[in-house]
Amino acid sequence: MDNLEKQYVIDALAEDSWRMFRIMGEFVQGFEEMADVGKAVTIFGSARLQEGSTTYDKARELAVDLARSGYAIITGGGPGIMEAGNRGAMEAEGRSIGLNVDLPHEQRPNGFQTDSLKFKYFFVRKVMLVKYSTAFVVFPGGFGTIDELFEALTLIQTKKIKPFPVYLIGVDYWRGMLQWLQGTLLRMGTISEHDLHLFKVVDDISTIADEIDDYYRSEHHGGFNLPW
């Protein structure tokens, strides 16, 4: 190995070391700032569905209901459905938490946050979204939303975390995915029938706050059951 190659290796090791310290720093910051959150619901959904859309309005309405029931609302902190969730929480005078991540487009912090954290690494943000949530509510969204959904379902399926309610909002929107899960994955034996009951697909959001509340009370009294 000549001197140029040695210098390249040294520079690469130094870069990786600094990256490791930044990752550790993001975890420490997240744990410190989220430690007092208490019970919270994370709302996911597309950054592209803006105010005036039915989905935006529904996310905002649900966030109001949840905040009035004493839940902090956590979102990815950006526009669209994330903004709707944070906005509803603030309107109900609840805690509105945005976990922002650096992206080349779409991800600008919305203006409806009582607490705002910024992350460079997606996987650090994912840990925070799961660790401090009592439930997930997943509105229509794209790759990022689906990524977060299946991350949570995988952790629940493999018992890496305790089960918690996962709601998919929009029967029509999620129908194709459900047909694929049932017609391909279940049929091929790559998932079990039980896995299809790790989440609930609904249009009606009016009972979600009460159902999550039932879960929260039962979980803390040792009698946990999913609310369906």
Domain CATH number, residue 112:
3.40.50.450
Per-residue tokens: 23? 């990752």
Please check whether residue 194 lies inside any domain of the structure. Answer: yes
Please check whether residue 224 lies inside any domain of the structure. Answer: no
State whether 24 and 121 are in the same domain: no
In the DSSP assignment, the letter for residue 134 is S
State whether 29 and 111 are in the same domain: no
Q: How far is CA 169 from CA 44, 68, 138, 203, in A?
A: 10, 20, 6, 6
Question: Given this model, what pLDDT does residue 9 score?
Answer: 44
Question: Given this model, what pLDDT does residue 10 score?
Answer: 47
Residue-number span of the structural domain to which 44 is assigned: 39-219
State whether 43 and 25 are in the same domain: no
State whether 122 and 185 are in the same domain: yes
Please check whether residue 228 lies inside any domain of the structure. Answer: no
State whether 50 and 84 are in the same domain: yes
State whether 58 and 125 are in the same domain: yes
Question: Given this model, what pLDDT does residue 219 score?
Answer: 65
State whether 55 and 165 are in the same domain: yes
In the DSSP assignment, the letter for residue 194 is G
Smallest CA-to-CA distance from 133 within 66, 39, 220, 60 is with 39
Sheet holding 166-169, edge to edge: 115-119, 96-101, 72-75, 40-44, 135-138, 166-169, 200-202
Q: What is the pLDDT of residues 21-76, one digit of tens each?
A: 888 999 999 899 999 999 999 999 999 999 999 999 999 999 999 999 999 999 99
State whether 14 and 85 are in the same domain: no
Question: Given this model, what pLDDT does residue 122 score?
Answer: 87
- What's the maximum distance between 2 C-alpha atoms anywhere in the chain? 68
Q: Give, for all 228 residues of the chain, the pLDDT tens digit.
A: 555 555 454 455 557 778 888 889 999 998 999 999 999 999 999 999 999 999 999 999 999 999 999 999 999 999 999 999 999 999 999 999 999 987 666 567 899 999 999 998 888 999 999 999 999 999 999 999 999 999 999 999 999 998 899 999 999 999 999 999 999 999 999 999 999 999 999 999 999 999 999 988 876 545 456 666
Task: Give the Cα separation of 111 and 83 in Å (integer).
Answer: 8
Do β-strands 72-75 and 40-44 pair in parallel, antiparallel, or remain unpaired?
Answer: parallel
State whether 1 and 51 are in the same domain: no
> How many independent structural domains does the chain possess?
2
Question: Given this model, what pLDDT does residue 217 score?
Answer: 83
Per-residue tokens: 214? 């039932």
Please check whether residue 139 lies inside any domain of the structure. Answer: yes
State whether 23 and 51 are in the same domain: no
Please check whether residue 227 lies inside any domain of the structure. Answer: no
Task: Provide the residue type at 33 as one letter.
Answer: E
State whether 203 and 159 are in the same domain: yes
State whether 15 and 52 are in the same domain: no
**Phi and psi at residue 46, to the nearest 5°:** -65, 140
Cβ atoms of 200 and 215 within 8 Å: the answer is no
In the DSSP assignment, the letter for residue 89 is H
Cβ atoms of 63 and 137 within 8 Å: the answer is no
Question: Given this model, what pLDDT does residue 101 score?
Answer: 85
